[in-house]
């Protein structure tokens, strides 16, 4: 009994300290210092949540940036990789098909991050090179010059964290929302009313 009482006391103390006090304290600090990040970096449009700056989404329309492919179908509940290795015939075929489709769309060979999925399948960012490769295609769809879109995309490049961690990236969702504001789609021609 002399060993059981201190052991039980330590379990109760550590549970209270590390299971309750520490998580609640970290949550309070995060909410106070970084409320947007602590709540998932959610993006709203017209009062409706349309996504998170931390989770990739599918964008297929020609007037938007295309993000990285997702082995999880952009489903955050099932995130993960395909687990196909570099010698997998299925992976080689999938990358070749994606590359051919995007090259036909963009008119240039797509960078590797546009044809390979990330480990999570939910990467929200692409490389600046991947963004610039899409400039001419987006410009055609929006009725503006490719130079305007390249300049716009250069302004959306996020540098390395603390100046040395990671690589420069462009957040696809944030850039696409900004594209809608900066370069609204041309209105379709008016259809004359029929008289009869």
Say if CB 56 and CB 172 are below 8 A apart.
yes
- The DSSP letter of residue 82 is -
Helix, strand, coil percent content, the chain, rounded in steps of 5: 45, 10, 45
> What is d(CA 125, CA 37) in angstroms, rounded to the nearest whole number?
16
Q: Parse the chain into domains and list their residue ranges.
A: 1-39, 41-182
pTM, two decimals, is 0.79
Quickly count: other Cβ atoms within 10 Å of residue 7's Cβ: 9
Give residue 40's pLDDT: 84
pLDDT, position 189: 61
- E-state strands within 23-154: 42-45, 48-52, 125-126
Return averaged pLDDT per consecutive 10 residues of the chain, 196 residues in all. 89 96 95 88 88 90 94 83 86 93 94 91 94 96 95 96 92 95 77 56
Residue 81: what pLDDT? 80
Looking at residue 185, its pLDDT comes to 86
């Amino acid at each position: 009994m002399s060993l059981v009482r201190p052991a039980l006391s330590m379990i109760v103390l550590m549970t209270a300290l590390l299971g309750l006090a520490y998580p609640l304290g970290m949550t309070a600090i995060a909410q106070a210092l970084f409320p947007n990040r602590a709540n998932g970096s959610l993006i709203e449009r017209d009062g409706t949540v349309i996504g998170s700056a931390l989770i990739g989404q599918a964008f297929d329309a020609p007037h938007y940036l295309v993000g990285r492919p997702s082995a999880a179908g952009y489903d955050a509940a099932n995130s993960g990789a395909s687990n196909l290795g570099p010698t997998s015939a299925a992976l080689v075929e999938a990358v070749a098909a994606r590359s051919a489709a995007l090259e036909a769309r963009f008119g240039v060979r797509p960078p590797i991050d546009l044809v390979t999925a990330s480990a999570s399948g939910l990467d929200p960012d692409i490389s600046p090179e991947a963004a610039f490769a899409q400039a001419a295609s987006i410009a055609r769809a929006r009725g503006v010059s490719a130079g305007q879109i390249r300049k716009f995309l250069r302004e959306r490049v996020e540098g390395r964290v603390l100046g040395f961690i990671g690589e420069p990236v462009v957040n696809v969702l944030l850039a696409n929302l900004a594209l809608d504001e900066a370069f609204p789609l041309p209105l379709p021609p008016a259809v004359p009313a029929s008289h009869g």
